[in-house]
Amino acid sequence: MRVPRYTEDQARETAPPEGKNDRMSPKPLIAVLVLAFASLACSAVPVVNGPGVVNNASYTNSPGIARGSIFAVFGEDLGPQQLQVVNSFPLQPRLAGTSVRVTVAGQSVDALILYTSASQVGAVLPSGTPLGQGTLTVSYEGQVSGSVPVNIVDQAPGLFTVNQQGTGPAAVTDETFALISRERPAYPGQTVILWATGLGPVAGDEAKAPLPGQIAAVSVTIGGRPAAIGYAGRSGCCAGLDQIHVIVPQGPTGCDVPVVLTAGGVPSNTATIAIAPPGASCDQTQPPSAAQITLNPSVRHQTIRAWEATAYAGQDHAAFPAFRDTVLDRAATELGITRLRVEIRSGAENSQDYWSQFQSGQISNELWRCLRYSTVNDNSDPFSINWAGFQFSELDDKIEKIVLPLKQRLAARGEKLEINLNYVAFVRQMTATGCPSGLTYVHDDSPEEYAEFVLATYLHLQQKYGWVPDYWEVVLEPDNTPFWRGPEIGRAIVAAAARLRAQGFTPRFIAPSTTDMGHGWIYFDAMVSQVPAAVREMVELSYHRYGGVLLSNLETIAARAKQYGIGAAMLEHIGSGYQDLHQDLKVGNNVAWQQYTLASPAADNGGAYYVVDVSRPSQPVVRMGQRTPFLRQYFRYIRPGAVRIEASTNNAAFDPVAFINSDGKYVVVINASSAGTASINGLPPGRYGITYATAQETNGALADVVVGPGQALLASVPATGVVTVFGK
């Protein structure tokens, strides 16, 4: 990169803002930033290639070239073999035979040339250049290059760095213009000067003389913490060169503390600064070296299907109408739920609508618990549905209060809410103390009766709502029942699949959904050995985390899912947080995951994404459960269709998972067991957001980072928790 090299006399003659006369001369900086160029063979016509047209400090062109900034053009035969540098004002649009022209919307503007050589030209883009998409050409000795696209913007800040590549230590000085370095670190509370370009346009003719003064509101973070700013504007020495006076915040120390400048909402490249207490070296305060996280997109794992919740949000509470919209809005937009588990009890096959009787107060809660899983066969023919023998009022209530409103919210975002209909048969409740005698259950030994139940539910949903489930979860927690085991589940799948296909449906089954993780693969193996046809109908091998939570069980589940070409899914555990989710994604290769319900007006027990305070029923307060902010770091950014890629680390304290979303954007989530810094290698060029959740700050964010070709992203990890880096 290159900035103009003015004479010492010219620097003294410039007029800085009042009160800043002793702060504006960057002579030591200029010495750092001047390049030496080797001679290159010339061709007749200039060619713009390589990096093309970039910010002179950051070496990137995202989001564009800022008006009033210094930019660089790379190529061949752009100018003379020997470097030529301007050394005085006024600046001219031509230097040593080289000129650069930018055209936007039919209006052409000549850049002010600062230096030129055969392979690189540096220039100031006049502040009056029109905004928008345009083209750029380079002329040398009457020969004109082909046009290349450029985007002209108001702000696109870049920090100059010592290596003159936009990475590593920033070109930062103290107020005497002495360079901050590892040997001479800054200290907390000290005012330092960042040197940059791209803060924005200025008023006046920048060709005649420097135009110092505040330009626009900017922000700076150092080590992820905001730094107080005293001055942010043009330098008093040079056109296009910006300087930002900042106070080093308390807290961050080390030899490579990240620093980011943001102007107009646009972040700069990430550079670093050495910080230590007065009299100390940065090595004495240096935390462990940055964890090196390396992405390998050629190694791919599972594809994410859904982030799931059970369709309960406190709809049985009198205050529900007052908090429903808040819960559903936040679940859709803030958390990122994309699939609902909608439970249907086995007792829906019954001649009596016990749920409606319970709702109306005709029967007690105790009696309802006895009756809700008992079945009365609709008739003796499992191939003939007697609709009077099925009661869907409880299912319809969930659909109308939870499913349809959430579907509408996701549709408004251009997304689809998937429905996983889950059959539940906790029949041991039928024999609890005080329950009536003679209660029956008919789906245990007749796959065809079960298949009739499934088909009746599909037909009901199709006829009443115009859609059918995306998935059917065969039975919830079969190891909590006396008879549902692997072979029984397999036979039920085969019978139900045949019945649904005969009616034109395309079923997708989830099983076995055991409470015990170890039972998951044991039940699955029993299906494989005794009912192999069932596995061909499955899309997810599901399990819960209430028992058998061993790494060996999780690895076995992942291996079985891979072997049979299906996904693995952890679909319930009250109390699970991000540590479980991270392990299920990385070791279990999960394609879907659920903690439990959408919301609850009860105490936070780790079973609801949102907890509702209904102490004042007319003014309920919805807040995230204590685990939810950490889960959000995954759900919100890793979207359905995302493919997990290999991500390795040299430091187990910074454990990554990485995904490529369906739009091609990368997401890296770091499970951090300590504070520190992570260097992420292998990200494609672009702008990245960084958010985090810790015990102290559950909704934190760092400044965006622009990554250039071949550059690593340096992310500051403030404390134990979850950090998410996501492409924008």
Both structure tokens of 474:
């065969």
124 near 201, Cβ under 8 Å?
Answer: no
3-state secondary structure string across 230-285: EEEEECCCCCCCEEEEEECCCCCCEEEEEEEEEECCEECCCEEEEECCCCCCHHHH
Residues 6 or more apart in contact with residue 605 via CB below 8 angstroms: 574, 575
Across all residues in the chain, what is the average pLDDT? 91
9 pLDDT exceeds 50? no
Contact 223, 216 (CB under 8 A): no
Cα–Cα distance for residue pair 396/169, rounded to 1 Å: 62
Query: What contacts 135, CB < 8 A, 6 or more positions away?
Result: 102, 103, 147, 148, 149, 150
Q: Per-residue pLDDT tens for 600-613? A: 999 999 999 999 99
- Find all residues with CB under 8 Å of 661, minimum gap 6, and list them: 638, 639, 641, 642, 667, 727
C-alpha gyration radius of the chain: 32
The overall longest dimension of the chain from CA atoms, in Å, is: 104
- Summarised one tens digit per residue, pLDDT across range 193-244 is 999 999 999 999 999 998 998 887 899 999 888 999 999 999 989 999 999 9
First to last CA, the chain: 26
Peptide bond into 382 cis (omega under 30): no
Report, as an integer, the average pLDDT of 173-192. 94
pLDDT tens per residue across span 674-727: 888 999 999 999 999 999 999 889 999 999 999 999 999 999 888 899 999 999
Decide if 634 contacts 691 (C-beta within 8 A): no
Which residues are registered as beta bridge partners of 540? 510, 567
Confidence (pLDDT) at 415: 96
pLDDT of 509-523, one tens digit each? Answer: 999 999 999 999 999
Residue 285, pLDDT score = 55
Classify strands 713-717 and 98-104 as parallel, antiparallel or unpaired: unpaired
Query: In sequence order, which residues have a C-beta less than 8 Å from that of residue 625 and are 6 or more positions away?
Result: 604, 606, 608, 609, 610, 611
281 burial class (0-12, 13-18, 19+ CB within 10 angstroms)?
Answer: middle
Model confidence at 62, pLDDT cuts 50, 70, 90, reads confident
Question: What are the backbone angles phi and psi of residue 126, rounded to the nearest 5°?
Answer: -55, 145
The answer to whether 610 and 640 have CB atoms below 8 angstroms apart is no
Contact present, 28 and 266 (Cβ < 8 Å) = no
Give the pLDDT mean for 554-579.
Answer: 97
pTM of the model: 0.67
